Structure 1
Amino acid sequence: MEFAASVIAVVQLAGKIAEICGRYINEVRYANQDIIRFQQQIKSLEEVLQSLRNLLDDPNCSDLTNTQNLAGAVFQCLSTLEDLKEKIDPESTRSRMRRRLAIGLCSAFGWPLDHHEVAEAIRSIEQYRSCFSLALQIDQMRSLMNEKLCLDRLRIAKGAAFDSYENDKEHTECLPGTRTELLREIEEHWKVNHF
């Protein structure tokens, strides 16, 4: 349960950071591509984490070995995002901005990260996103394979398979009252498309 709560916290934090980036894009006179790329990467991470959250909430997915092993990465991601939020949130950067303004390093309301810092943040975000995506894919594939293996173990009822009547020339018709809903749908479809 603690792992799921951490995933939720990271999803929410990523959403807040994307929102802050949106404010910078709207308010900074010449919002550069760094802010836009940074916001896109945050949103992409948020989408992957939302998929992870959905998988964790799914009662049919109990064997999530790789996903459960991500706990450390999720906590690191949370810490990284908290640091990034602290750096870009105008509320927490006011005093730092005043110091930078005093020595002429930035404008009154400007993006607080330089190009190098943005590139490093994007690299970290991409690594987290790749790690989470890969674990999700492996667990989803394992889940699908387990379902297929379960289906493969089912016994086949003799004579019940589709087209099994071909070997039995005496019983080639459906029993009365069977497949009536399907026949009705076919008939309606034919009427709509041919009249």
Structure 2
Amino acid sequence: MDALSSAASVIAVIQLTGSIVKLCGGYIQEVKDARDEIFTLQQAITGLQGTLQDLHKLLQSNDGLALPTSSRLVSNIIDCLSDLRALEAKLDPGKGKKLMRKVGLRALKWPLKRAELEGVIQNLEKYKSSFIFSLQVDQTSLIVSVAQNTDRINQNMDLGKLEGAMEAVFESFSDRDEVQCLQGTRTELLQQIMEWAMSPSQKSIFWLKGMAGTGKSTISRTVARSLQDSNYLGASFFFKRGEGDRGNAKKFFPTLIRQLMLRTSELRPSVQKALDDDPDITSKSLREQFEKLLLQPLVYLDQLGRQPRTAVIVIDALDECKSDSPSDLLDKQA
């Protein structure tokens, strides 16, 4: 049953609780020896009515169709409606007694015995508790949903300020036809690289060197694939001479940071601060970009004791970077 059906059922129960509260008011005025019991029932009905009104507001909200707990309450609401109708029938004095009251005869008698009243109130509290639980669950879901949406908006803001060369990323559309190592080839070297990648005690940089045309890019793509499959690939940048942003380092760090933030969301506040403090940081020197967009956010996480999981950055074909190559910077980090 959808949220609209639940809302319609809730309205019927709210109307019925109003009728019962009114009936109780009549008994309080005319039945002196049971006023405490009548007042207790009236308070229980009023409490249930308030909870149902809150539930109705939630179901009628724009998010009503996305409230899995509250929208499945129809059976409970129908049971509650049935019990309240039975209670109303028992409390309604009928036409004869109403006529007697009009001519001044006091013939109204409280129809519920103490044990029966306790059972009624217990049922009312049971319904109220189930409705409150549904409210709490779905309100919490809405809060979480809002927080997640806000987080996505903030994430998009961060990424919007980091214009990356996404065609340089592993498995980009422009590299769709690039080959990887054939199965069973380069196994010793690939194993050596993967062992390095998964060992925190190793040096921070694994530098693969070789003559042009010896298959370094093929190995890099194969390593990137293995790292991605094992959830160790943090970011990648495949340089390529003469291919726009892939042929220089202008968008090198923004491209890496975009990928790292998607993997490690804890980086975003520090990166956002760096962008806010210096909106032109992505046009500064590579060293300054490295320090403010990557190094300082990582150091900050370390100071908080929130070290991110191991992430390997794959950089290929540095020799094809036209100018301002990151190689000198990487040499000093090795």
Normalising by structure 2, report the TM-score.
0.43
Moved more, 145-154 or 107-116: 107-116
Tell me the equivalent position of 1:133: 132
1:27/1:63 CA distance change after superposition, 3 Å: same
Letter in 2 for 1:14: T
Q: State the structure with bigger RCO (CA 8 A, min sep 6), 1 or 2.
A: 1
Q: Number of residues paired by the alignment?
A: 155
Distance in 2 between residues matched to 1:90 and 1:53, nearest whole Å: 30
Once the two structures are superposed, residues 107-158 of structure 1 have per-residue CA deviations (whole angstroms, 9 ceiling, x without a partner) of: 8212110101110000000000000000111001001101101111222345
Tell me the equivalent position of 1:5: 8
Distance in 2 between residues matched to 1:21 and 1:11, nearest whole Å: 15
Distance in 1 between residues matched to 2:145 and 2:88, nearest whole Å: 41
Tell me the equivalent position of 1:121: 120
Please identify the structure whose Cα radius of gyration is greater. Answer: 2
- Aligned runs of 1:176-187 on 2, under 5 Å? none
Letter in 1 for 2:36: Q
Tell me the secondary structure at the aligned position of residue 65 of structure 1: coil
- Aligned runs of 1:18-97 on 2, under 5 Å? 18-91=21-94
Distance in 2 between residues matched to 1:85 and 1:92, nearest whole Å: 14
Once the two structures are superposed, residues 33-54 of structure 1 have per-residue CA deviations (whole angstroms, 9 ceiling, x without a partner) of: 1111100000000001111111
Moved more, 46-55 or 57-66: 57-66
1:114/1:82 CA distance change after superposition, 3 Å: same
Give the alignment partner of residue 19 of structure 2, picking from 12, 16, 21: 16
Once the two structures are superposed, residues 11-42 of structure 1 have per-residue CA deviations (whole angstroms, 9 ceiling, x without a partner) of: 00001001100111112133431111100000
Q: Which of the two has greater helix per residue? A: 1
Structure 2: segments with no counterpart, 5+ residues: 98-105, 162-270, 280-334
Normalising by structure 1, report the TM-score.
0.72
Letter in 1 for 2:137: I
- Identical-residue share of aligned pairs (%): 36
CA displacement at 1:160 relative to structure 2: 7.6
